[in-house]
Chains A and B, each alone.
Chain A
Amino acid sequence: MDAHPGDPPLIYLNNAATTWPKPQGVLDAVTRSLQTPFFEHGRSTAGSAMDYPSETRAALAGLFHAEQPDHFIFTRSATESLNLLIHGFVKKQGAPFHAITTELEHNSVLRPLHTLTGEGRLSLSMVPFQESYVTLQDIKKALQPETRLVVMTHGSNVLGSLQNIRPVAEYCAENNIFLIVDGAQTAGQVPINLEAVPLGAFVFTGHKALFGIPGIGGFYLDDPDAIVPVQQGGTGTDSRSLAHPQEMPQKFEAGTPNYPGIASLLAGIRFIEHEGQDRVTRKGRDLAALFISEITRDKNIILYTPAPDLPVVSFNIQGLDNDEAGYILAKAYNIITRTGLHCAPLVHDRIDSGKGCIRVSFSCLNTPEECRSAAMAVREVAEGADR
C-alpha cells in the first residue's frame, strides 16, 4: 500500500495470515542466503556455505522439543504438508477407512478430506466444537470401528482457541489411530513439546508466528512408515538408483529446497529463542486481551472471541458487512485486518450464519499503542454504522 502524506501510520493486524513486519534478522538472513552458494546435501557446492536445511531441522527440534531432527520435512506451506500427509496416509492404507476431523478446520484440511471422500477413499465424520473447543469426548462420539485417522487443528484461526491435544493424542496412540495436528496457528506462538505428546504428525508453516517468509513450511513425522511419499525426485543422494531413497528426510523431500525460505525460518526461530517463547506467547495474549477490553462494551460490536488463547480476535459490526468494515479500516485508518470466511467455512456456519467476520490478529511485534488505536478505529466505525 502506498503511503500518502497525512495518512495515519500503517497498523498491520493480519498476522494470523502472515506476520509482518519480519524481524530484521530474518530479512538479513534471506539476503545472506542468496549471497553465497547453497550447501547442497551430497552435491559439490559445499565450500564454506551454510547447511541451512540441517541447521534448521536442528533448530526446529530444539524449539518443538522433538527427538529426531531428520523427521522434520520441509514443504512450501502448511497446506502442502497437510496434503502430503493426508494423501500419503490414504495411499498407505490402500482400502477405504473412516476419518474424523472437526468444524474448526481450515480448508487445507477440509478440502483434501472432502476430495478423498468424494473419491470413495474414506468416509468422514465432522466433530462440532462447543464454545470454541473440541474435546476427546466429542471425538470419541464420532469413532467407528474402522476409524484410522484424526486430523485436527491445534489452534483455531478464527476463534483463537488452543485445543487440548494431549488427551486426543494419547487416545489415538493407544488405539492405533494416526493423528495429524495442524499447528499453522500455534507453531512459534505457543510452546510446543513434541516429546511429551504422542502425535502422528505435526504441521507447521514458516510465514506466520515463526516469522519466516511465505513459501516455507513443513511437518514432523514421528513414524516415517506411517505414510507413503506421494512425490519422488532428486535428493542428491543414491542418484544411481531409480528408487526414491527411504531414509529421512529424503524420503519425503524431492527437488531443490527453498534455501532462502529455510534460512528465513532459521532466523525466525532464532528470533523467538532470543525473545523467549513464553514472552512471545504472553505478549500475544496480552495484546488480544487489551484489544477486547477496548471494544467489548460497544453494543454494536458482536464479539466471537471473548477470551482467546491465541492473539486472534474475531467480530462483526452491526449494520455493516464485514468486507465493508475491513475496507473502511484499511482506507480511512490504514489498519489492515482480514475479513470474510478465513478459509474456515464451517466455523462461520456456527458463529455468524456463514457470512464471515472481521479478524484482527497480533504478533509480538505489535504494540499496545497500535492495539488501542485499532480498537478506537473499530469503535468509530461501529458508531458510524449505527447513525
Chain B
Amino acid sequence: MKEFILEEPLTPGFLTFLRSFGTVKEYPHMKRPYFSFEQEHFISIKGFVGDPSVEVRYRKEFSDLTSDYFHLLLFYFREGENGIRKMQGIEESIWERMKVRLPEEGVPR
C-alpha cells in the first residue's frame, strides 16, 4: 500500500476516466466525497474527490508489472479520449506479460 499526495486534487473527471479501466464506487454524500476504484488484477485506489491524497494498493503477485500503473493513469488522463486508448494498450501489454509469467494458470481475466 502506498499513499500519494498529488500536485492537484482529484476531480470528478478523473473518476470518469477511471471507469474505462475498472469499477468506480462513489459516495458523494459522505462528509468528504469518497470514491474507490478497483482494477481487480492490478490495483485499487481510495480517496476523496477534491483531495490530493490517495491510497493505492497493488496486487502483490504482479506489483513489479503494475507499479507504474497509477502514474500512467494520471499521465494519460490529461490526454482525454486519446489517453484512454493509449492506456488500454498499456493494459494489454501488462496482460501479455502476466500470461508469460503464469502460463500454466493462464491470466485471470
Contacts and interface: CB of A to CB of B under 8 A. Distances in A.
A binds B: yes
Interface of A: 320-321, 324, 327-328, 331-333, 377, 380-381, 383-385, 387
Contacts of A384: 27, 29-31, 34
Interface in B18-33: 25, 27, 29-32
Contacts of B31: 328, 332-333, 377, 380-381, 384
A331 B53 contact: yes
Contacts of A320: 27
Nearest to B30: A384
B29 A383 contact: yes
The 3 closest A-B pairs by CB, nearest first: A384-B30, A387-B29, A332-B32
14 contacts: A321-B36, A324-B34, A324-B46, A327-B46, A327-B55, A328-B31, A328-B32, A328-B34, A331-B32, A332-B32, A380-B30, A384-B31, A384-B34, A387-B29
Nearest to A328: B34
A346 B52 CA distance: 38
A382 to B, nearest CB: 10
B48 interface: yes
Contacts of B46: 324, 327
Interface residues of B, number: 12
A332 B27 contact: no
A377 B27 CA distance: 15
Nearest to A386: B29
Interface string B31-42: 110101000000
Given A381-B30, A385-B30, A387-B29, 8 more contacts: A324-B25, A327-B46, A328-B31, A328-B34, A332-B30, A380-B31, A381-B31, A384-B27
Q: Pick the most buried of A320, A328, A331, A387: most chain B CB atoms within 10 A of its CB.
A: A331
A331 B36 contact: no
Max chain B Cβ within 10 angstroms of own Cβ: one of A320, A333, A384: A384
Nearest to A385: B27
Contacts of B36: 321, 324
Nearest to A323: B46
A385 B48 CA distance: 14
Interface of B: 25, 27, 29-32, 34, 36, 46, 48, 53, 55
Nearest to B25: A324
A332 B48 contact: yes
A321 B29 CA distance: 16
A329 to B, nearest CB: 10
A343 B78 CA distance: 42
A385 to B, nearest CB: 6
A320 B46 CA distance: 13
Contacts of A385: 27, 30
A180 B36 CA distance: 43
Contacts of B27: 320, 328, 384-385
A331 B29 contact: no
Nearest to B32: A332
Contacts of A327: 34, 46, 55
A1 to B, nearest CB: 11
Nearest to A387: B29
B30 A328 contact: yes
B45 to A, nearest CB: 11
Contacts of A377: 31
Contacts of A332: 30-32, 34, 48
A249 to B, nearest CB: 40
A385 B27 CA distance: 6
A322 to B, nearest CB: 13
Contacts of B30: 328, 332, 380-381, 384-385
A212 B46 CA distance: 34
A324 B46 CA distance: 8
Nearest to A381: B30
Nearest to B44: A323
A202 B52 CA distance: 48
A222 to B, nearest CB: 43
Nearest to B31: A332
A328 to B, nearest CB: 5
A7 B34 CA distance: 17
Nearest to B3: A331
A380 B34 CA distance: 13
Nearest to B57: A323
Contacts of B48: 331-332
Contacts of A387: 29
Contacts of A383: 29
